[in-house]
């Protein structure tokens, strides 16, 4: 099977030619931010965000990026520990001043997998180049500014009443769509409760791989609720069985965990394993691969949205800039900062306007300012790599 090339130039053609700046200093800073409330999924309940941040310095310009891995491998195989190892021992040594970004991507391909580690460096370099040229990241990506639609991901709750209250708050804020986490034993009746109370909202569910093909009859019961999609119902590594399930279900399947790059997206689409793809820029290796996947999906008539990893303001801003790219057709998991944190390490926080839309942070690079005092307050590890 081949990934059919579009007749138009690749959305990353110009980016590939940019020169890698000389890095004078690179640090990894791990911060720990308490969540305002625990975030429950079928795989784990997180109570705080432990984020590994990268600070890059070049000729007086500073830029930050965020590794979207968790300290644990419960959602994805990479962890902050593996990302640190891969960045320090394999990726950073490949970064040579003056080579083109396309050449750097080719060198990175020699390292198999570890997209979150690769994305940390690639996104950091893009932010550094944009900041050094005094242009916003979206402009460097070749995309005009636009308002970005919002979307909320609601974790598993203890009671249906708590879930309904969370949906109520989302509706009041005019979120562009609401996603609720489900798991075995906490699904059909919980969705029914939300649908009965909110018949018209754009609603979807995310199972984080909790089901298997033997659950087909049960999963089909979700077809009656007019859901936008069901995200990753089957195993985190599967594409083939999702194709069998999609043939049986009316509700669109969206793949998250299974998609690690353009080839996976192409395979999933060719097999009919999904009708929608969640692109997490970290999971697929960075902004450039994300843009290529989104373009490919646009050419194939497949809807795409930007996933989230409950990022700090750094990763949240990157996801917002990415959504200016061609192919991002649906609201993503892009919520207000206050949904996760009382105080983030970056300013300004993400807020929704009166229509539930999000403005791209203004200014060079990612457009948000990392506040040094807050980094110092939240840092649990600091390591200088260069």
Determine which helix (DSSP H) or strand (DSSP E) holds 382, and give its type and residue range: strand 379-384
We find the least distance from the C-beta atom of residue 53 to ligand OSB, in angstroms, to be 16
Which of the listed partners (ligand OSB, Mg ion, none) does 251 bind, with a CB threshold of 5 to 8 Å by partner kind? none
346 neighbors 313 (Cβ within 8 angstroms)? yes
Query: Helix (H, G, I), strand (E, B), or coil: what is residue 38?
Result: strand
137-156 mask for ligand OSB (x: CB under 6 A)?
----------------x---
Nearer Cβ to Mg ion (256/310) = 256
Among 208, 251, 324, 337, binds ligand OSB (CB under 6 A): 208
* 309 binds ligand OSB, rule: CB under 6 A: yes
39 neighbors 70 (Cβ within 8 angstroms)? no
Going from the C-alpha of 283 to that of each of 58, 60, 79, 311, 357, the distances in angstroms are: 26, 30, 12, 13, 25
Which of the listed partners (ligand OSB, Mg ion, none) does 309 bind, with a CB threshold of 5 to 8 Å by partner kind? ligand OSB
The counts of H helices and E strands in the chain are 13, 15
- The alpha carbon of residue 64 and the mean position of all alpha carbons in its chain are separated, in whole angstroms, by 17
Residue 141 in tokens: 């990506």
Among 149, 307, 331, 361, binds ligand OSB (CB under 6 A): 307
We find the least distance from the C-beta atom of residue 333 to ligand OSB, in angstroms, to be 4
Determine which helix (DSSP H) or strand (DSSP E) holds 54, and give its type and residue range: strand 45-58
CA dist 72 and 86 (Å) reads 16
247-276 mask for Mg ion (x: CB under 5 A)?
---------x--------------------
Contacting range for ligand OSB; rule: CB under 6 A; set: 87-95, 193-201, 307-315, 347-355: 307-315
- The alpha carbon of residue 118 and the mean position of all alpha carbons in its chain are separated, in whole angstroms, by 14
We find the least distance from the C-beta atom of residue 308 to ligand OSB, in angstroms, to be 2
We find the least distance from the C-beta atom of residue 335 to ligand OSB, in angstroms, to be 5
323 neighbors 332 (Cβ within 8 angstroms)? yes
CA dist 116 and 282 (Å) reads 4
* 211 binds ligand OSB, rule: CB under 6 A: no
Q: Has 181 been annotated as catalytic?
A: yes
In three-state form (DSSP H/G/I as H, E/B as E, the rest C), the secondary structure along 235-249 is: CCCCCHHHHHHHHHC
Size of the site for Mg ion (CB under 5 A): 3
We find the least distance from the C-beta atom of residue 364 to ligand OSB, in angstroms, to be 25
Among 187, 206, 210, 303, binds ligand OSB (CB under 6 A): 206
Query: Which among 49, 118, 179, 181 is annotated as catalytic?
Result: 181
Q: Has 118 been annotated as catalytic?
A: no
CA dist 258 and 264 (Å) reads 7
Residues near ligand OSB, by CB under 6 A: 75, 153, 206, 208, 256, 307-310, 333, 335
Q: Which residues are catalytic, by number? A: 181, 280
Residues near Mg ion, by CB under 5 A: 206, 231, 256
């Amino acid at each position: 099977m081949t990934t059919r090339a579009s007749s138009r130039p690749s959305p990353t053609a110009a980016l590939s030619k940019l020169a890698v700046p000389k890095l004078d200093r690179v640090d990894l800073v791990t911060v720990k931010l308490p969540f305002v409330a625990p975030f429950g999924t079928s795989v784990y309940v997180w109570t705080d965000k432990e984020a590994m941040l990268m600070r890059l310095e070049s000729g007086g310009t500073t830029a930050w990026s965020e590794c979207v891995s968790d300290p644990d491998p419960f959602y994805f195989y990479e962890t902050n520990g593996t990302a640190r190892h891969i960045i320090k021992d394999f990726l950073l040594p490949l970064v040579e001043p003056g080579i083109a970004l396309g050449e750097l991507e080719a060198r990175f391909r020699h390292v198999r997998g570890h997209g979150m580690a690769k994305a940390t460096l690639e996104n950091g370099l893009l932010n550094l180049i944009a900041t050094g040229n005094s242009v916003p990241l979206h402009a460097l990506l070749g995309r005009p500014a636009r308002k970005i639609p919002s979307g909320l991901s609601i974790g598993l709750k203890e009671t249906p009443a708590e879930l309904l209250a969370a949906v109520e708050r989302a509706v009041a804020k005019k979120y562009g769509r609401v996603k609720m986490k489900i798991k075995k034993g906490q699904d059909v009746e919980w969705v029914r409760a939300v649908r009965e109370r909110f018949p018209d909202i754009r609603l979807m569910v995310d199972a984080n791989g909790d089901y298997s093909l033997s659950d087909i009859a049960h999963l089909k019961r979700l077809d009656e609720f007019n859901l936008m999609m069901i995200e990753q119902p089957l195993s985190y590594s599967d594409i083939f069985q999702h194709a069998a399930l999609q043939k049986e279900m009316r509700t669109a399947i969206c793949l998250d965990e299974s998609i690690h790059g353009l080839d996976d997206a192409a395979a999933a689409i060719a097999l009919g394993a999904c009708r929608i793809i969640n692109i997490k820029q970290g999971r697929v290796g960075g902004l450039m691969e994300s843009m290529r996947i989104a373009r490919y999906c646009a050419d194939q008539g497949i809807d795409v949205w930007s996933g989230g990893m409950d990022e700090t303001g750094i990763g949240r801003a990157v996801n917002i800039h990415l959504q200016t790219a061609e192919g991002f057709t649906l609201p993503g998991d892009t919520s207000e900062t206050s949904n996760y944190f009382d105080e983030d390490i970056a300013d300004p926080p993400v807020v929704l306007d009166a229509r539930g839309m999000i403005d791209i942070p203004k200014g060079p690079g990612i457009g948000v300012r990392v506040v040094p005092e807050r980094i110092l307050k939240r840092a649990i590890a600091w390591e200088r790599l260069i």
